[in-house]
Chains A and B, each alone.
Chain A
């Protein structure tokens, strides 16, 4: 069977897990093997039923009194015990912070290789996987050995599709043997993000600024545009390196991955480290003085001009419209 680790935060499903299940179901179908899932912690039990619609025939419910919050080593040990008892051919998770972290621990504990952020898999021995490098600007074809094969699925690459499993959903409750060491790394406290502004990753519209903005004051018109469109402001790495905006606003390989309906990129040339972060945008509008800027090849619309001249006029036009 193929085993998928479902990621959740105290019972809240991470939607990336559905991408992983879509990917896993495709592999399971080609191998004529069942797709099974693992849910760690009692708080996640309620999620089990919903997984059948994605092709899961059996869910392993890992219960332990201390599994009330995320603890990477305890999660990994739970998966390791399932590997021993259920002998899956492959174990997969989402290529998220937590998914990569847990599978890396599984790899360390079983002394098996792990392929992070795969976009394709061709079964066999070894598996041939395609995985992302450079945050998605380059792909690698690689051979993955091991029994079982350990891999994570690159986020935002697999469109979620349902595909119901036949028969009754089987639930298997297990209690792993976990010790203090498995809980030495665990969340001891949570601090809510402050502010009531729209977050970059949730915003429908993102206004991005690059080196061309020129200063932190230069972002004023961008802030205004974002406010008018009820969106969020982001920026390129060049901007955070200059200290014009906080790192939390950075979009790209080492910052946020955004997926808005519209991304308005102002004064951004379009280095790959930035564009991999806005791949998820449905539409890109570029405002740039340089008609040769690489970002134009990613955009649906472009205005050639100095953002400091264009954006204030645009803001005035939008205000006019809103006042009508």
Chain B
């Protein structure tokens, strides 16, 4: 079974996001980078699928040269090889991103690799477009189950579950198929030192993708108006408990 997992390099933000002066980017000078949280789980799922059934796992990202860092991180966890769709680092919208991924999947087919499972995160942590994987699935004429928290493979078919109104919704699709994963589907492993060393030697294909898109264009970024409240400090330590009870009574929750 061959598995493709797509990830995106995003900054690790803390308690507040600081923007650059031109309001078009996040100030990342003092930030580290990671992949979106849902994608950490997608990578783990890809590694587990190939561990259980053989085949090859491939990680793909669209981004600047430095995004190789995230590809190596994924390979340190057990992914076999990587594809970098290298850009100048400017932002690509969902349509352009999806089109470039579709081209890369087709090129892999021409080179002899067909994917049975294509994994994405449910949405990118930064832009939150909620559509690139569905556009990829549509262009490749594959079924797509979004937001899954469980995936089982059985005789060329997949049973995927996601949270729905009042419980779990179960979907069954034939492979090949696209899945978007939500955090919680698994608990991702930590990289081992040998894993990190091996990752340095694993191959990274570099491709310069065609850019087709730009129909949803970012003009500027803004921090939302924060309602900063001045918390009423009820006291310090356990001595404040009676005061908390007063508040609970006032609110009618006790």
Binding site for B on A (CB under 8 A): 9, 12, 14, 70, 72, 95, 97, 100-101, 103-105, 107-109, 111-117, 126, 128, 130-146, 152, 184-193, 204-205, 228-229, 231, 237, 240-241, 243, 246-248, 250, 253-255, 261-262, 269-273, 283, 285-286, 291, 294, 296-306, 309-310, 312-314, 316-318, 321-322
Closest-CB distance, A8 to chain B (whole angstroms): 9
> How far, in Å, is A198 (CB) from chain B's closest CB?
13
Give 23 pairs: A residue, B residue, CB < 8 Å, sorted on A.
A97-B147, A100-B123, A105-B134, A116-B123, A134-B125, A139-B222, A143-B219, A187-B164, A190-B166, A190-B168, A191-B168, A192-B167, A192-B168, A271-B14, A272-B16, A299-B231, A301-B231, A301-B232, A303-B233, A303-B237, A305-B236, A305-B238, A317-B244
Closest to A101 in B: B146
* Contact call A191/B167, Cβ cutoff below 8 A: yes
- With A143-B216, A188-B172, A305-B237 as contacts: A116 and B245 at CB distance below 8 Å: no
Per the bound structure, the CA–CA distance linking A158 and B219 in Å amounts to 23
Given A113-B215, A294-B15, A303-B236, do A243 and B129 touch, yes or no (CB 8 Å)? no
Interface size class of B (residues with CB under 8 A): 35 or more
A48 to B: closest C-beta gap in Å: 20
Of B139, B169, B231, which is within 8 A of A70 by CB?
B169
Q: Could you tell me the distance in whole angstroms from the C-beta of B11 to the nearest C-beta in chain A?
A: 10
Interface 0/1 of B20-37, CB less than 8 Å to A: 000000100000000001
Q: Is the CB of B241 within 8 A of A138?
A: no
Given A138-B221, A193-B168, 4 new contacts (CB under 8 A): A107-B135, A138-B17, A192-B167, A240-B184
A247 smallest CB distance to B (angstroms): 3
Nearest CB of A to B55, in Å: 23
On whether A300 and B253 interact (CB within 8 A), knowing A139-B223, A141-B220, A310-B237, the answer reads: no
Give B34-51 interface residues, CB cut-off 8 Å to A.
Answer: 37-38
Contacts of A105 in B (CB 8 A): 134, 138
Q: Judging by beta carbons under 8 Å apart, are A144 and B216 in contact?
A: yes
Contact A133 B241 (CB under 8 A): no
With A and B bound together, what is the CA distance between A204 and B217 in angstroms?
40
Q: Which residues of A contact B145 (CB under 8 A)?
A: 185
Question: What's the Cα separation between A189 and B223 when bound, in Å?
Answer: 42
Closest 6 CB pairs of A and B: A247-B184, A104-B131, A108-B138, A113-B215, A313-B238, A294-B15
Please indicate which of the listed interface residues A107, A112, A291, A306 has the most CB atoms of chain B within 10 Å of its own CB.
A107
Contact, CB under 8 Å: B17 / A134: yes
Bound: A107/B228 CA distance, A: 38
Main secondary structure of the interface of B (DSSP, over half): mixed
Chain A residues whose CB sits within 8 angstroms of the CB of B243 once the complex forms: 303
- Min Cβ gap A143→B in Å is 4
A148: min CB distance to chain B, Å: 13
Q: Which of A95, A101, A116, A262 contacts B251 (CB 8 A)?
A: A262
Min CB gap A5→B, angstroms: 15
Known: A138-B221, A321-B254. A309 touches B165 (CB 8 A): no
Given contacts A189-B170, A309-B238, is CB(A113)–CB(B184) below 8 Å? Answer: no
Q: B247 near A301 (CB under 8 angstroms)?
A: yes
- Which residues from A are CB-within-8-Å of B238? 305, 309-310, 312-314
Min CB distance B10 to A, Å, is: 9
Q: Decide: B215 and A9 in contact? CB cutoff 8 A.
A: no
- In the assembled complex, the Cα of A105 lies from the Cα of B254 at a distance in Å of 47
How distant is the Cα of A285 from the Cα of B244 in the complex, in angstroms?
A: 9
Nearest CB in chain B: distance from A59 CB, A: 22
Name which of B170, B219, B243 has the most chain A CB atoms within 10 A of its CB: B219
- 1/0 per residue, CB under 8 A from A, across B179-200: the answer is 0001110010000000000000
- The CA of A301 and the CA of B242, in the complex, are separated in Å by 14
Contact assessment for B253 and A114 in the assembled complex, using a CB-CB cutoff below 8 Å: no
B2: Cβ under 8 A from any A Cβ: no
- Given known pairs A271-B15, A294-B16, the reply for A300 and B221 (CB within 8 Å) is no
